[in-house]
């Protein structure tokens, strides 16, 4: 091959790699542009319309990304990262997406100018690690449920809805710090929204179910609780077997045996029965005659909450064959169970297990209900994260301060990795720039004002007041965010940016069906 041909081939490979990178960067930027207008106190809403014309109006980044229709692989990578952020800490998805988009954009620009991908990634890793260490060093611990920092954090996450901030902090008090520190517990799961309801923190559980039938009692008190993680009905017999005389006889025997099992449970004092699946007519009749309140088709999440609160142990329908003494060990207890007919749900109070709290959020319409539920979940997640990890100044202040810290680090970074550090510096400025832009101010001017003020005062709490456009102390304004949310957003953004920048070529996979043939 001639020298010219080799050069042409090399140039073609470079062009292909750059085309793949530019395609991915554009897709990531498209995702960020869909939600960046929602960030900050002046952020606007997004209207999502499905193919049936149903509308969802929200400024919750997680909700938008969950419903947005995108096909590009890089877009899906960003969306999966945002979902992971939401699943882990319950908030900060928009921040993570905005930072990730900026990292990819800046990294792509440097790579297009000839900086090796590995050096850009090395610098991003160095800068992100330094930024995370700085953010951790600025943490302010929350001293109990009455600490003003906790309420302020809830209010910011609740987008200024003071009533929802009050609800989430009150619920946290009821649950207690020990349970909030449990990694398996999520306070956000305690949020229930209902049309026509009044805001309320309920010291117990609310299950969005009704009695199995209207003849059952609306309320039972001081009762044992039976949780059947299965259908409450006899084992099924195949139709072929049922057509035979012996098969039909076995069917009748199973029916009679199961009915006796149900009566044995009721005789133990069971007054509330929870079924994961259906309840057959015969069992329902026994429950009704005995004054038992039963609910069916209860979700796995609600069953787990009921088990924890009442101290019951889930049992399969085959376990109902156990003798009375053995079955007794599976029963829980609660002070009262009753149905709220107006709102159409069951309330469980005074369980013998762990304390529980439910945040009941009221709303006028279905659309408003869904949005208020999302906001309350964000606030609940932030309250729990703040108690776990402390808080830092919000409003983009801590990211801007971290950018300055990373900028100081750049001087000590040798070689082209310094360009990757630059990427982190620019990306950390993106949240405050977008917050300021959404408030209607010039982001270039205002962010430089804030950076200069931080440097002069040696303070990581200074940012822009979105009402006045002036530099202000976010801690004094009550604008705080959980450390855990910030750290996870930075970590997730850096990881997905690295994954996108490493992509060398995009190849369409062969259909698995074709491969099999």
Distance CA 228, CA 298 (A): 10
Distances (CA, A) of 29 to 25, 44, 72, 369, 500: 6, 19, 12, 31, 12
Radius of gyration of the chain (CA): 29
CB 360 within 8 A of CB 194: yes
Query: Which superfamily, per CATH, for 10-140+392-501?
Result: GroEL-like equatorial domain (1.10.560.10)
Residue 42 is given by DSSP the state T
Q: Rounded CA gap, 139 and 152, in Å?
A: 15
**What is the pLDDT, as a whole number, of residue 4?**
47
| Separation between Cα atoms, residue 397 and residue 446, nearest integer Å | 12
> How far is residue 391 from each of residues 91, 290, 381, measured CA to CA in Å?
14, 53, 13
Give which of 395, 379, 375, 399 is closest to 466, Cα–Cα. 395
Residue 409: per-residue pLDDT:
87
Helix (H) or strand (E) run with residue 335 in it: strand 332-340
Domain definitions of the chain by residue range: 10-140+392-501, 204-356
At which residue do the structure tokens 């850096």 appear? 494
pTM of the full structure: 0.81
Question: Does domain 204-356 sit in CATH 3.40.50.300?
Answer: no
pLDDT for residue 43: 87
- pLDDT at site 247: 67
Strand 200-202's sheet: what is its strand order? 191-195, 358-363, 200-202
Starting at the earlier edge strand, list the strands of the sheet with 270-275: 204-207, 345-351, 332-340, 219-228, 270-275, 293-295
Cross-strand partners of 295: 274
Within 13 Å and on the Cβ side, how many CA atoms surround 124? 33
The Cβ of residue 388 has, within 10 Å, a number of other Cβ atoms equal to: 16
Helix (H) / strand (E) containing 404: helix 397-410
Would you say the CATH fold of 204-356 matches that of 10-140+392-501?
A: no
Render each residue's pLDDT in the chain as its tens digit; 517 residues.
Answer: 455 444 444 445 556 778 888 888 888 898 888 888 889 888 888 888 887 777 777 878 878 887 887 778 888 888 888 888 877 787 888 899 999 999 999 999 999 999 999 999 999 999 999 999 999 999 999 999 999 999 999 999 998 899 999 999 999 998 888 889 888 888 998 898 888 888 999 899 999 999 999 999 999 999 999 999 999 988 776 666 656 767 667 767 878 888 898 999 999 999 999 999 999 998 999 999 999 999 999 999 999 999 999 999 999 988 998 989 999 999 999 999 999 988 889 999 999 998 889 999 998 887 788 889 989 999 999 999 999 999 999 999 999 999 999 999 888 888 899 999 999 999 999 999 999 999 999 999 999 999 999 999 999 999 999 999 999 999 999 999 999 999 999 999 999 999 999 887 666 666 665 555 5
Q: Which one, of 462, 466, 331, lies nearest residue 399 by Cα? A: 462
Structure tokens given for 390: 């402390």
User: Whole-angstrom Cα distance, residue 301 to residue 205?
Assistant: 12
SS3 category, 396:
coil
Q: Which two tokens stand for residue 218?
A: 């609306």
Query: Of 301, 256, 255, whose CA–CA distance to 274 is shortest?
Result: 301
66 exposure class (CB count in 10 Å sphere: 0-12, 13-18, 19+): middle
């Amino acid at each position: 091959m001639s020298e010219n041909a080799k050069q042409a081939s090399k140039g073609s490979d470079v062009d292909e790699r750059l085309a793949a990178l530019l395609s991915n960067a554009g897709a990531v930027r498209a995702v960020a542009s869909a939600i960046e207008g929602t960030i900050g106190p002046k952020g606007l809403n997004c209207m999502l319309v499905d193919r049936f014309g149903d509308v969802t109006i929200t400024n919750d980044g997680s909700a938008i990304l969950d419903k947005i229709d995108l096909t590009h692989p890089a877009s899906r990578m960003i969306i999966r990262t945002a979902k992971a952020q939401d699943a882990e800490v319950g908030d900060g998805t928009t921040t993570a997406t905005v930072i990730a988009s900026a990292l990819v954009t800046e990294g792509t620009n440097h790579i297009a100018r000839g900086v090796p991908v590995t050096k850009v990634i090395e610098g991003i890793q160095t800068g992100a690690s330094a930024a995370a260490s700085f953010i951790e060093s600025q943490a302010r611990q929350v001293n109990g449920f009455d600490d003003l920092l906790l309420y302020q954090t809830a209010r910011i996450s609740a987008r200024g809805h003071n009533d929802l901030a009050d609800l989430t902090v009150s619920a946290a008090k009821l649950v207690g710090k020990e349970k909030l520190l449990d990694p398996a517990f999520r306070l956000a799961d305690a949020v229930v929204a209902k049309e026509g309801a009044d805001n309320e923190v309920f010291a117990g559980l609310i299950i969005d179910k009704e009695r199995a039938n209207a003849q059952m009692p609306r309320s039972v008190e001081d009762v044992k609780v039976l949780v059947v993680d299965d259908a409450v009905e006899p084992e099924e017999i195949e139709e072929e077997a049922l057509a035979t005389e012996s098969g039909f006889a076995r069917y009748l025997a199973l029916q009679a045996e199961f009915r006796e099992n149900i009566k044995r449970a009721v005789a133990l004092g069971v007054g509330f029965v929870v079924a994961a699946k259906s309840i057959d007519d015969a069992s329902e009749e026994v429950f009704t005659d005995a004054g038992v309140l039963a609910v069916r088709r209860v979700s796995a999440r609600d069953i787990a909450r009921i088990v924890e609160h009442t101290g019951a142990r889930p049992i399969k329908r085959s376990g109902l064959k156990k003798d009375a003494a053995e079955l007794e060990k599976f029963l829980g207890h609660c002070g009262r169970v009753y149905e709220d007919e107006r709102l159409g749900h069951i309330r469980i109070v005074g369980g013998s297990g762990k304390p529980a709290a439910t945040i009941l959020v009221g709303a006028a319409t279905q659309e408003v209900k869904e949005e208020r539920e999302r906001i309350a979940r964000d606030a609940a997640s932030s309250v729990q994260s703040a108690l776990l990890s402390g808080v830092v100044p919000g409003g983009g202040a801590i990211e801007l301060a971290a950018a300055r810290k990373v900028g100081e680090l750049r001087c000590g970074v040798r070689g082209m990795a310094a360009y990757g550090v630059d990427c982190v510096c620019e990306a950390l400025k993106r949240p405050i720039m977008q917050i300021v832009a959404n408030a209607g101010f010039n982001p270039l001017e205002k962010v430089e004002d804030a950076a200069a003020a931080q440097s002069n005062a040696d303070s990581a709490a200074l940012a822009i007041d979105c009402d006045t456009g002036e530099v202000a102390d976010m801690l004094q304004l009550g604008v705080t965010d959980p450390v855990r949310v910030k750290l996870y957003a930075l970590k997730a953004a850096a990881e997905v940016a690295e994954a996108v920048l490493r992509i060398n070529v995009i190849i369409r996979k062969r259909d698995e069906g074709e491969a099999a043939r």
